[in-house]
Structure formats: structure tokens, C-alpha cells
Amino acid sequence: MIETPRRPRRPSWLVHLSPGWAVERLFGTIMMVAAPLTAAPGMLTGTVCALLSLGLAGWLAFLFLERRAPVAALVVLGVSSLVAATAVGSTADGTAMIMSCSGLVAFSMHTRPTPLVIIMMTGVAVTVAALSCVFAERPAGDAFGNAAVMLVAVVLGLSRRQYRVQAEHAERLLEQTRRAQAEHARAAALDERTRIARELHDVLAHSLGALGVQLELADALLSEKGDLNGGLERVRRARRLAAEGLAEARHAVAALRDDIPPLTEAMARLAADHGVDHPADVRFEVAGTPRSLSPAAAVCLLRTMREALTNAAKHAASAAITVRLDYRAETVRLVVRNGTGPAGGDRAARPEGYGLAGMRERLALVGGRLTAGESDGGWQVVAEVPA
């Protein structure tokens, strides 16, 4: 039975709201509904009831339009507050004042209108409430008291608005940081793939080229000259080249594995393996405090050490080899030295072929450098990469 993929459900619009949105709107609705219901007897005349009803209807319309049409919802909320403010002078018990302040608080807490718009809205509401008190022949103290209450309510709303603005700004910064990290990880992955591709290309081109040459020689020796021993020797050489190429390819892709040993451990293992396979005495030393390097830099140092050991085995098989990995403040330095001076017995290895040239190019790609030359009668290879 084939199951049809389910269409992902769209997240509810409630997830886009602040955590306190429901509490704020519920509290505002309670204040809007409870204020007229608890008004003093005789306060609710026909005109006052009509104004308060319009104010409550505006609040309900604001709740309905807030997520669907934010701008229209804010306009309706402002009109609702102003309508309630016109009845402040006619309700001495503060019924209209409570409704008007509830609308002003909701308006000032909203992050969409600018502070200038909020201040202008507050000024208009205070003016309307003061004129309402004048027309109702209320004492001047009542007008000033109502204005002070409105201003305090708006200040509280603005403080809440500031918190929301900072929270939204922090959320945007967090999202930008996540995107930047994702782009950085993607760029690093592409760079790593390019480096691995370059390593594989170099290894395969060198190994397969040499393998093809040996097989052509073997074919010529066997078919043209009938030299069985020479042909078999070329075939064995081709087999060794294939094994070495496969090992190099494995080392090139080792940086993609999750279980790569630390650089010091990998170098110590490489030195031990070389000592087992060759008659030379290999000594590995570590100076400084080991720390992690980038995969590209670590692979370059390993490849340089392997190339230096291979050259030493070719040109001075029995000469003692010293490998020193030095962790410095800003760089990590690898020194591979073979030979013990003029009295050391075997001559020092003095290769300056394509192997070290390729290592020099790879080190340059990671900001490092490589030098090779005679040192106290021996041959020394020095590779340095930024830490």
C-alpha cells in the first residue's frame, strides 16, 4: 500500500504572538465589558450608552482584525478610545475613563505604530476627555486628574512596548545569526569538498599515471622481449604502486570521518609504522600544548610527514629520523630530520622532487609554508601552519 505524503500543516497564527498576548487581550476585554456593567445607577443615559457601546464594538473589532488587518485594527482601536473619551465628562464614576484607558494602553503597547503616532493619539484622547469634562461642567481638578491617569496608563504601555521591541530585535538578530552560521557551515563544507577533491585528484593522477607506465613496461618486456623476470618485476612494482595509491586515497578522505584520531596520535602511529616497516630508528617528539587544528591544516601536516618519511626511506633507509611537532603561540611547526651528521653512516636524504613541491603548494593553500634543506649533515623538512 502506497501512502500519499501528508501536506505539512501551517502553523497557527497564534504562534507569532507574544507570550502575554492572550492575557493582555483577555484583561482588556474584561475591563471593557465590566466597566459599563458596573456603572453607577443613573450614569448610563441614552447618549452615554451609545458612546460606550461604540467603544466596546470598536474593541471587539480590533480583536477580530488585529492579525488580519493590523493597520485597520489600530485605526479602529484609536477611534474606540476616542469615542470612550467623549463620555468621560458624563460618567463621574470613571466608567468611560476605564474604557478609554484600556484602549490607550493596548494602542501604546503595540509595536506597529511609531512612538510619535502614540504620543499624538494620547494627546488627542487627553484633549477630548478634557473638553468632555468642560462641556459637562465638571471641576478642573477632574479634568487634570483624568489627564494624569491617561498619561500614566500610556507610559506603562510604552514600557511594555519597549520590552516587546527589544525582544523582537533580539529574535531577528538570533535568526540572522542562525542564517550566518548556516551559510558559514555551507561555505566550509564546500571548501572541504574542494580540498578533498583536489587531494583525490592529485593522488589518483600520480598513482594511476605511474601504474600505467609500469604496466606498459611490463607489457613491452613480456610481449616484445620475452623477459619474464623483468615483466614480473614491473607487475610487482605496479601492485605496490596501486597499494600505495589506495593508502594515499584513504588518507585524503580521512578528514571526512568522525573518528579521526588527534594529530599527535596520528603522527605517533605513522612514526611507529614507519619504524616497523623500515630499518631506520624513528623518534617522535611533541613540544607545547596540543590543540585542535582545521582538517585541512592537519591533513597537510600528516601528508608532509608521510612524504618526508617516504623520501628518507628511499634515499637514506637506515639513517635515524627525528620528527618533532611543536605547538607554538600562533603556529604549529613540524620538523622531520634524517641523518646524524657526517659521522652518521648513511648519507642524508636530499629529495627536492615533485612530492615536496606538491606539499609546498598544499601548505600555501592553508596559509602555511614549507622549507627543506641540509642541516648539520642531515636533511631537514620544516612545515609550519597557522594555529
Reduced 3-state DSSP string for 259-280: CCCCHHHHHHHHHHHHHHHCCC
pLDDT, residue 3, reads 42
What is the C-alpha separation between 381 and 148, in angstroms, rounded?
83
| Euclidean distance between the first and the last CA atom of the chain, given in angstroms as a whole number | 57
Are 312 and 379 spatial neighbours (Cβ–Cβ below 8 Å)?
yes
In b/e form, how buried is each residue of 332-359, taking b as 16+ CB within 10 angstroms? bbbbbbbbbeeebebebbebeeebbeeb
Q: Where are the alpha helices (DSSP H) in the chain?
A: 21-37, 46-65, 70-85, 95-109, 115-135, 140-220, 228-252, 263-277, 295-315, 354-365
The pLDDT assigned to 20 comes to 66
Q: Of 348, 261, 359, which is closest to residue 307 (Cα–Cα)?
A: 359
Q: What is the distance between the alpha carbons of residues 13 and 357, in angstroms, rounded to a whole number? A: 62
Q: Residue ranges per domain, the chain?
A: 18-179, 260-387
3-class DSSP state of 200? helix
User: Cα 120 to chain center, whole Å?
Assistant: 42
Predicted local distance difference test score (pLDDT) of residue 276: 79
| pLDDT computed for residue 345 by the predictor | 41
DSSP 93-148: TSHHHHHHHHHHHHHHH-SSS-HHHHHHHHHHHHHHHHHHHHHTT--HHHHHHHHH
Q: Which of 188, 90, 177 is nearest to 133 (CA)?
A: 90
Domain 260-387 listed as CATH 3.90.550.10: no
* pLDDT in single tens digits along all 387 residues of the chain: 344 445 545 444 444 455 566 788 888 888 888 888 888 777 778 888 899 899 999 999 998 998 889 899 999 999 999 999 999 988 888 888 999 999 999 999 988 899 999 999 999 999 999 999 888 888 888 889 989 999 999 999 998 888 888 888 888 999 999 999 888 888 877 877 776 777 677 667 666 777 777 788 888 888 877 778 888 888 888 887 787 777 777 766 665 554 567 888 889 988 888 887 778 889 999 998 888 888 778 888 888 888 888 888 877 778 889 999 999 988 999 999 987 543 334 444 444 545 677 778 888 888 899 998 887 778 899 999 997
